[in-house]
A and B are shown apart, each in its own frame.
Chain A
């Protein structure tokens, strides 16, 4: 079908404002009567707060408020309410907010912090998973059994450090292992990492003299901030307004509610001052959400032909001190635990474990990167054992139409085999490198959005007298290009050009509801809502045009804002002309100003059975893809040079090829960076490398050659067939690189990141590096 605007590389509508340096992010906003906030953070991983003395800080001239958990003991939580705004009674990680100061300057606020006296009584810290899971483990949350949470979706285990235990039982793994020719078991490890958005987190809050609270925040989810703050502070949602300016990258780290609770609490004390908190980079590393760590044990039963029959997985997630969001990552990993493969028998136990570490939260991939680090090396190792080609074993086991996944859902419209074949072709998997110590590796992936079945998107638009459109969404532009794609969709549906579509900034007083900008769901969910809103407006326009032109609405079409018969004959009118209603010859008016509304909730999502995790539809849709890497290993230094990366994704329909390309390139680089460089180095619960000096991310100097293509297997209920896409591009990169290293020098690194030290140690074990035939 011929499309005018979707499917084309329309330039970013927020491009000019960003290259001009005119885009306003949270730290750029200047509001009157501003007070500046500094947060006092716990120096201990686990300790009881015996006493806090704020009095000296309060006395400092220029300090307007000093607060702690004593004044504001409220707790926050998206799925499990376990995270206080300020520590109450005890601290659970190094960096936990204990108190905060609002003062007339940042320097004064910093001075005031030094005057706060806190007495701690140290408690035995839980710094690793074995300690957390021991029978006599110190409890990070003694009162876990009293916390409210979403029942029958999450399963905290009272009086333990297990915040969630998600289970999948499909078929019988015992039977599966019994009939397998071989059984192979291996363990994998992913440490905690940080998203590293270029823009540090920030928020400003103000309570006006009527008690209404406004929050400006560089967040991914204004409605979540509003909702969770409303619950925590016991206020109605309608009395909290959340506004989102430009956001400098999210990657999940700005999802849910983050630091907003601190500024809201302070704002309530100092009404009507604006209270501003912008985190230092160091604070971003340990004081905001981090990637959960994972210790995975995978046991696979397979035939000598390479067919996977059974998989038993134990996934231990290091959720950190608070898991209000992280519990869902653990659940997502459970229901995705078969990965992109068709496995008849699946048994998965996925545990979200509390430790006295930074707070685990959504990180690009939402558990899929960590899971595929394990699964994609597991299948590669099985291939090696069988002397089987890594592409062939994946082809044999790949999910296809009719496959049931780990939850028993029957999959449809799956293009994985095409992604796999094209990726293999692009990198040349069938022609191993001739140079020594070079190798190629491949990895597949799958992900579906992890949202409640009720997660909704809504869109509202109005048409202006010049034929332009104001589109109101609470979906946030975090760099992914969502504003541009939505403008294209409006243009396509309505029959105007994308330049005439203006996106309003998310503002919960004005823009309609959006669950969250996470899960790569905006194109799919909000795209559908926008499409419906545009169609709604179009219907109204055509009804008036029909009246004016003496035609039936079905006979009319809108092209570049001009409305006429499809035959091209007869009189015309325009969107402009009808924008405020129809002026009749008599002088009267008909209809009214044209507006359109639309909403979307995915159809038929079904909860997981608590005991077996089985469900006909756990998520709205799945997106598959594959990546392959070619690496060169320096066997003397252990350094790995990633030379080329191929990536092919089945996005259903590519709404904007240039933007989609950018997503893949960005994901590959983040995946490469995560594979080789990234981990939070912990010592005694403290992050030792909380700065760019020692938390290294890839620079432009690390660019490999990238070969990218797309497959388009339409998603039935996606806008124009489009699937969610964005996170997926960094999921398989690390295992593809690990698999390539194995092909190059015969060593396997199963513990991220792949450092030269680990490669050298593995080579030493091997005695002599060899090329895999």
Chain B
């Protein structure tokens, strides 16, 4: 059972930040609680205060921004995000990643803020957010600041938040028309499982590719080498294999309870290849898309 704690409901972001800054060792931010409370129950953490941010202004709102991007309140339940993203092809990776987290019940509570602040190397939403160029709007005792997500993860369980700072929202920039993305998760079971390997890929209309990985390095990471590849607008089989090789090179998977490093390395290649096939169209006799879905997670969408 978890330790005895106080449950606080601040009325403003400022109040929340001040309290956290004043109690850096003993206070924790509570959004959906589906990670935090599990860790409390297991005794990994023993906070004395839980600061509930769910009712703070815009904490659970998701909306289109004027610039054509999306602003997502840090405590927005994942199901709400999934519904908002509907059948938008550009943001598909985020919708698929969000859909793959835990169970439906968990997704009614779990949030992007929680997922990224927990900073598990295997966080499903992180690779998708990274390829979509997410920036975080962070509020703290010294005011607000903006931070690109790619600078946020410092290591397993470690983020760039200073004491007293809270992620307020996740900002996704405008995506050009014709952009498409995909998130392919490898897990043991067909539903309700952590990622053994997560591959997110975004194809821009100018044919540049952005790939990010989860669960295969100390932090979720963007494979910058792939982004630098501009194969004259054409992704031949050779170019794709080069991209796959870069992706595998960028990863440093470990062997743990969920998978061996070898299996992860192999699946990174397989899933990257499949992600590219989905975005670029199949080249040669690659396995059919439904088999890719078999190897990945069940998804509501049909492409």
Contact = CB atoms under 8 A, between A and B. Distances in A.
Interface of A: 106-107, 110, 632, 634-639, 641, 677, 681, 688-689, 693-694, 696, 698-699, 701-702, 755-757, 760
Contacts of A701: 189-192, 298
A681 B4 CA distance: 32
Given A698-B189, A756-B263, A634 B291 contact: yes
Contacts of A634: 287, 291, 294-295
A761 to B, nearest CB: 9
B176 interface: no
Interface in B244-296: 257-260, 262-263, 266-267, 270, 287, 291, 294-295
Nearest to B262: A757
Given A106-B1, A757-B260, A677 B189 contact: yes
A702 B298 CA distance: 10
B212 interface: no
B190 A702 contact: yes
Interface in B189-210: 189-194
Interface in B97-139: none
Given A696-B189, A698-B189, A702-B189, A636 B295 contact: yes
B266 A760 contact: yes
A636 B188 CA distance: 15
B186 interface: yes
Contacts, number: 55
Contact of B263 (A110, A688, A757): A757
Interface of B: 1, 4, 186, 188-194, 257-260, 262-263, 266-267, 270, 287, 291, 294-295, 298
A699 B191 CA distance: 7
A339 to B, nearest CB: 30
A211 to B, nearest CB: 34
A681 B257 contact: yes
Contact of A639 (B257, B258, B294): B294
Contacts of B287: 634-636
A757 B295 contact: no
A758 to B, nearest CB: 10
Contacts of A110: 1
Which applies to chain A's interface (DSSP): helix, strand, loop or mixed? loop
A126 B193 CA distance: 33
Given A637-B270, A698-B189, A702-B191, 10 more contacts: A632-B294, A636-B287, A637-B295, A696-B188, A699-B192, A701-B191, A702-B190, A756-B263, A757-B260, A760-B266
Q: Give the interface centre of A637, A639, A698, A702 by most chain B CB atoms within 10 Å.
A: A637
Nearest to A697: B189
B270 A689 contact: no
Contacts of A106: 1
A702 B262 CA distance: 26
Nearest to A635: B287
Which 3 A-B pairs give the minimum distances between C-beta atoms? Answer: A701-B191, A637-B295, A701-B190
B197 to A, nearest CB: 10
A694 B189 contact: no
A701 B291 CA distance: 15
Contact of B259 (A635, A641, A693, A757): A757
Given A757-B259, A757-B263, A760-B266, A637 B189 contact: no
29 contacts: A106-B1, A110-B1, A632-B294, A634-B287, A634-B294, A634-B295, A635-B287, A636-B287, A636-B295, A637-B270, A637-B295, A639-B295, A677-B188, A681-B257, A689-B257, A694-B257, A694-B258, A698-B189, A699-B191, A701-B190, A701-B192, A701-B298, A702-B189, A702-B190, A702-B191, A756-B263, A757-B260, A757-B262, A757-B263
Contacts of B194: 693
B188 A637 contact: no
A755 B196 CA distance: 13
Contacts of A757: 259-260, 262-263
Q: Give the interface centre of B186, B188, B258 by most chain A CB atoms within 10 Å.
A: B188
Nearest to B291: A634
B68 to A, nearest CB: 35
Contact of B267 (A637, A677, A688): A637
Contact of A696 (B186, B193, B270, B298): B193
Given A636-B287, A693-B194, A641 B294 contact: yes
A637 B270 CA distance: 7
Nearest to A640: B294
A688 B257 contact: yes
Contacts of B4: 107
A636 B274 CA distance: 10
A486 to B, nearest CB: 36
A637 B257 contact: no
Contacts of A641: 294
Contacts of B260: 757
Contacts of A693: 194
A88 to B, nearest CB: 29
Contacts of A688: 257
Contact of A636 (B189, B258, B262, B270): B270
Nearest to B3: A107
Contacts of A698: 189
A28 B190 CA distance: 33
B24 to A, nearest CB: 26
Contacts of A699: 189-192
B137 to A, nearest CB: 31
A577 B148 CA distance: 84
A693 B270 CA distance: 25
A637 B260 CA distance: 13
A756 B189 CA distance: 11
Nearest to B103: A699
Contacts of B257: 681, 688-689, 694
A677 B298 CA distance: 17
Contacts of A689: 257
A94 to B, nearest CB: 16
A216 B169 CA distance: 52
Nearest to A702: B190
Given A693-B194, A701-B189, A107 B263 contact: no
B196 to A, nearest CB: 9
Nearest to B296: A637
Nearest to B190: A701
Nearest to A681: B257
Contacts of B291: 632, 634
A696 B194 CA distance: 11
A742 to B, nearest CB: 19
B186 A637 contact: yes
A503 to B, nearest CB: 34
B263 A760 contact: yes
Contacts of B262: 757
Nearest to A110: B1
A757 to B, nearest CB: 5
Contacts of A632: 291, 294
Contacts of A760: 263, 266
A757 B265 CA distance: 12
Contacts of B188: 677, 696, 755
A764 to B, nearest CB: 10
B289 to A, nearest CB: 12
A107 B1 contact: yes
B123 to A, nearest CB: 15
Q: Give the interface centre of A636, A638, A681, A760 by most chain B CB atoms within 10 Å.
A: A636
A491 B259 CA distance: 55
A723 B111 CA distance: 52
A692 to B, nearest CB: 8
A639 B188 CA distance: 9
Contacts of B189: 677, 696, 698-699, 701-702
A762 B295 CA distance: 18
Nearest to B266: A760
Contacts of B1: 106-107, 110
Contacts of A107: 1, 4
A696 B193 CA distance: 8
A556 B191 CA distance: 60
